[in-house]
Amino acid sequence: MANGPRTLYQKIWDDHVVERRDDGTCLIYIDRHLVHEVTSPQAFEGLRAAGRPVRRPELTLAVPDHNLPTTARTDAAGNLLPIADPESANQLAALRRNTAEFGVRYIEATDARQGIVHVIGPEQGFTLPGTTLVCGDSHTSAHGALGALAFGIGTSEVEHVLATQTLLLRQSKTMEVRVDGTLGHGVGPKDVILAIIGRIGAAGGTGHVIEYTGSVIREMSVEGRLTVSNMSIEGGARAGLIAPDETTFAYLKGRPMAPAGEAWDRAVAYWRSLPSDAGARYDAVVTLDATDIAPSLTWGTSPEDVVAITGAVPDPESFADPAKRAAARKSLDYMGLTPGTAMQDIPVEHVFIGSCTNSRIEDLRAAAAVVKGRHVADRIRQALIVPGSGLVKRQAEAEGLDRIFLEAGFEWREPGCSMCLAMNPDKVPAGERCASTSNRNFVGRQGPGARTHLLSPAMAAAAAVTGRLTDVRDLMA
Amino acid sequence: MEPVRKVEGRAYPWGAKNIDTDVIIPAHWLKTISREGLGKGAFESVRAEPGNLFDDPRYAGAPVLVAGENFGCGSSREHAAWALADLGIKAVIAPSFSDIFSGNAFKNGIVTVVLPQEAIDRLVEVAKTDEITVDLETMTVTTPFQDRFPFALDPFRRDCLMQGLDEIGLTLARDTAISKFETAATQSRPFVMEGGGNEGFAVAGSGRT
Ligand code: SF4
């Protein structure tokens, strides 16, 4: 165990070492395991083949999200409608069957608590500060927003955790990303994380666990922090932690799976001991000034291809690195963009507000504030609002946000991953352009040939009402 | 798992950087509930282009892939490793890999070899005409032209690969240590170990037998 001042990451690590091996790897105990339908079937199959049980089903929670259509999913009697795609149906059925067989808690698609796995973890209070949390999904980094050491794993590791409740890991390096100052009007958490990735690059955090610090992060709500930590993986870091504080505790208090009563007090006392000690050292430090961050978006097919909305499509020839130059040429070709075009002159056909990055109530409120009293532009073929969970949907309806969106010409959908990845019926057609609040702009991510611009919910709403990429500040009186 | 000591044969001379998991295996292939048969979907968008590397008969069945930095970035889908394995790839050589991908590759018996960019440039040239050998015994990548590039590998991973060990079985053998940890954690952090309770859930089945 390290002496002297320790980082948040080091403290969580130290508290979860089951065994340290001579070669420096550690057997690390896993406190929380989230399971969804895409990356788990082969893991359960492996357990079955070896005759192994799930070691701690009570530390495991399963929910379907990736494959579920986001159109009405129940009939008038509340029964689940059949799923048209046979492979999706098969995968969803496998999750239901496997969780029943192995005694794992399962949230059914008809349950109001159903939603994107990274939305429901914090929402249910399953995600707790100071825990180790894994899921067979790279955006598990999101849960770091509550001060959990959370990271994505592959299916063999899912099987390993199910069977042993541990993982064999080597400690990562640490990177502090400090954002100080005050964010400008119309600039939010999504802009902050896009600016960070633009700065460090898509591989900048490889081998590192990030800790986000600074006044901007401290003043951010937990939902905003979830947006930031969510995209740590887009910067190459498996995990992105934020120290738990009063904001975190207030968010968690009273959540269904969070500790209550005496256990709550004990938990908070422990959580207060977790923030990095003064003088703790990081292997790398990156600082950003909030006043330099504008509403941001991507122009290419890597999340590091970030530009301010007031900027223009870059000229590939302007990049010093020949590989970057070649990649940019290819990106622009795929994106159908010409160097020098003002970002605000780029028309869009699709708008997607959703995904584990931006589908929580504050995201929907931010979008609704822009949409209110306006209408989706004529050229928009599809404008989707996909709440991150049934509970987010319910809350938004209680606040009347659904009316604002529906009256403006948006579609109001059921919770799920939706258009974030081309795995369920929600897709962007080839050659068409989407202003999307999701986290990946890879080639083909939203459908073969689909062109994605990543941006904030407010910016996506602005694009929907003008029909082109738009500086949301121009629509905010 | 099959033990891997040496991978030798033709290599795809690719060298492309930032190859993400959506390129290795697009999302619509993720609907399978089996590990087999994903080779058909491997590099689908690349293979849509005429004259591409993966459909070039010279490299058919090549067990080695030479790629650029940050190979396997993007999602955690192990399908990427299964797709490569199904394609017959047993070793990937690149200047760097995404952390998740290299873990997944290892668990499926695929060796991820990190070599500097100069070595990659050279191997891309050689691979166009000749075979490449990745040797875990000597920890070197060699070519028929006296090229010899030493590489490093986590000793545990190397052992597992060379002996074809089942990692879960190895960990289950540490049950006493895990149980001891659980007892201590239940004392110090009971609010974690309770797991949030089963309220509102119909839980059946036999997790712990
Ligand atoms: S919303 Fe997108 S990024 Fe998030 S879990 Fe679903 S598919 Fe993955």
CA distance A100 to B204: 6
pLDDT digits (tens, 9 = 90+) for A177-204: 999 999 999 999 999 999 999 999 999 9
Q: Sign of the CA dihedral A224, A227, A229, A234?
A: negative
B62 CA → ligand 1 middle, Å = 33
Q: What are phi and psi of A352, to 5 degrees?
A: -125, 115
Question: What pLDDT does A26 receive?
Answer: 97
- Predicted confidence band at A24 (pLDDT cuts at 50, 70, 90)? confident
A417 CA → ligand 1 middle, Å = 5
Binding residues of A for [4Fe-4S] cluster: 356, 417, 420
- A258 close to ligand 1 (CB < 6 Angstrom): no
Name the least confident of A80-89, A166-175, B121-130. Answer: A80-89
The tokens describing B51, both together, are: 């004259």
CA distance B69 to A365: 40
| Option in A23, A102, A138 nearest B205 (CB) | A102
Sheet holding A26-29, edge to edge: A17-20, A26-29, A166-169
pLDDT digits (tens, 9 = 90+) for B47-82: 999 999 999 999 999 999 999 999 999 888 899 999
Question: Which residue type is seen at A123?
Answer: E
| Option in B182, B190, B197 nearest A257 (CB) | B197
Mean pLDDT of B192-200: 89
A9 CA → ligand 1 middle, Å = 25
How buried is A13 (Cβ within 10 angstroms: 0-12 exposed, 13-18 middle, 19+ buried)?
buried
Q: Do B35 and A42 lie within an 8 Å CB cutoff?
A: yes
**Res. B1: pLDDT tops 80:** no
Q: Which residues of B touch A264 (CB under 8 A)?
A: 191
Q: Does B1 touch chain A (CB under 8 A)?
A: no
- A421 close to ligand 1 (CB < 6 Angstrom): yes
CA distance B7 to A464: 53
DSSP B107: H
How buried is A256 (Cβ within 10 angstroms: 0-12 exposed, 13-18 middle, 19+ buried)?
middle
Rg (alpha carbons) of chain A, rounded to whole number: 22
Question: Which residue type is seen at B42?
Answer: A
| 3-class DSSP state of A118 | helix
Rg (alpha carbons) of chain B, rounded to whole number: 20
Question: What pLDDT does A22 receive?
Answer: 85
Question: What pLDDT does B165 receive?
Answer: 87
- Predicted confidence band at A1 (pLDDT cuts at 50, 70, 90)? low
CA distance A179 to A189: 11
**DSSP element (H, E) containing B8:** strand B6-9
CB A145 within 8 Å of CB A193: no
Q: Bridge-partner residues for A360, per DSSP?
A: none
The tokens describing A304, both together, are: 């590091």
Question: Which residue type is seen at A399?
Answer: E
The tokens describing B12, both together, are: 């795809």
| Option in B27, B33, B190 nearest A421 (CB) | B27
How buried is A330 (Cβ within 10 angstroms: 0-12 exposed, 13-18 middle, 19+ buried)?
middle
**Res. B208: pLDDT tops 50:** no
- A118 close to ligand 1 (CB < 6 Angstrom): yes
Q: Do B28 and A445 lie within an 8 Å CB cutoff?
A: no
Domain ranges of chain B: 6-164, 174-209
Mean of pLDDT over chain A: 96
- DSSP symbols for A162-184: HHHSEEEE-PPEEEEEEEES-PP
* Chosen from A26, A107, A168, A305 to mutate, greatest number of chain B CBs within 10 A: A168
- A417 close to ligand 1 (CB < 6 Angstrom): yes
Cβ atoms < 10 Å from Cβ of B139? 14
End-to-end CA, chain A: 54
Distances in Å between the Cα of A254 and the Cα atoms of A122, A132, A259, B192 are: 12, 21, 8, 15
Nearest CA in chain B to A16: B181
Angle (CA) A179 A244 A246, round 5° = 100
The tokens describing A371, both together, are: 């949409």
Question: What pLDDT does B200 receive?
Answer: 85
Which of A465, A471, A20, A439 minimizes the C-alpha distance to A234? A439
A109: left (phi over 0), alpha (psi -120 to 50) or beta: alpha
CA distance A300 to A332: 6
CA distance A361 to A224: 11
| 3-class DSSP state of B47 | helix
The tokens describing B128, both together, are: 């166009």
**Res. B14: pLDDT tops 80:** yes
- A137 close to ligand 1 (CB < 6 Angstrom): yes
pLDDT digits (tens, 9 = 90+) for A301-332: 999 999 999 999 999 999 999 989 999 999 99
Q: Do B78 and A168 lie within an 8 Å CB cutoff?
A: no
How buried is B194 (Cβ within 10 angstroms: 0-12 exposed, 13-18 middle, 19+ buried)?
middle
Q: Does B49 touch chain A (CB under 8 A)?
A: no
Q: Pairing mode, if any, of strands A173-180 and A26-29?
A: unpaired
CATH number of B6-164: 3.20.19.10
The tokens describing B176, both together, are: 């006493």
Cβ atoms < 10 Å from Cβ of B169? 12
CA distance A415 to A387: 5
Question: Which residue type is seen at A373?
Answer: G
| Option in A31, A100, A163 nearest B168 (CB) | A163
- Predicted confidence band at B27 (pLDDT cuts at 50, 70, 90)? confident
Nearest CA in chain B to A167: B171
Q: Sign of the CA dihedral B104, B110, B114, B117?
A: negative
How buried is A334 (Cβ within 10 angstroms: 0-12 exposed, 13-18 middle, 19+ buried)?
middle
Question: What pLDDT does A23 receive?
Answer: 82
Question: What pLDDT does B205 receive?
Answer: 56
Q: Does B103 touch chain A (CB under 8 A)?
A: yes
pLDDT digits (tens, 9 = 90+) for A347-405: 999 999 999 999 999 999 999 999 999 999 999 999 999 999 999 999 999 999 999 99
Mean pLDDT of A61-73: 95
Question: What pLDDT does B75 receive?
Answer: 83
Q: Where are the alpha helices (DSSP H) in A16-148?
A: 41-50, 86-102, 117-124
CA distance B111 to A156: 16
- Predicted confidence band at A2 (pLDDT cuts at 50, 70, 90)? low
End-to-end CA, chain B: 26
| 3-class DSSP state of A134 | strand
Mean pLDDT of B75-90: 93
CB B72 within 8 Å of CB B98: yes
Question: What pLDDT does A374 receive?
Answer: 98
Q: Sign of the CA dihedral A180, A222, A202, A331?
A: negative
- Predicted confidence band at A68 (pLDDT cuts at 50, 70, 90)? very high
Instruction: For A351-386, give one letter per residue: b (16+ CB within 10 A) or e.
Output: bbbbbbbbbbbbbbbbbbbbbeebebbeebebbbbb
- Predicted confidence band at A139 (pLDDT cuts at 50, 70, 90)? very high
CB A183 within 8 Å of CB A177: no
pLDDT digits (tens, 9 = 90+) for A234-274: 999 999 999 999 999 999 999 999 999 999 999 999 999 99
Q: Do B75 and A156 lie within an 8 Å CB cutoff?
A: no
Which of B114, B77, B119, B76 minimizes the C-alpha distance to B97? B114
**Res. A434: pLDDT tops 50:** yes
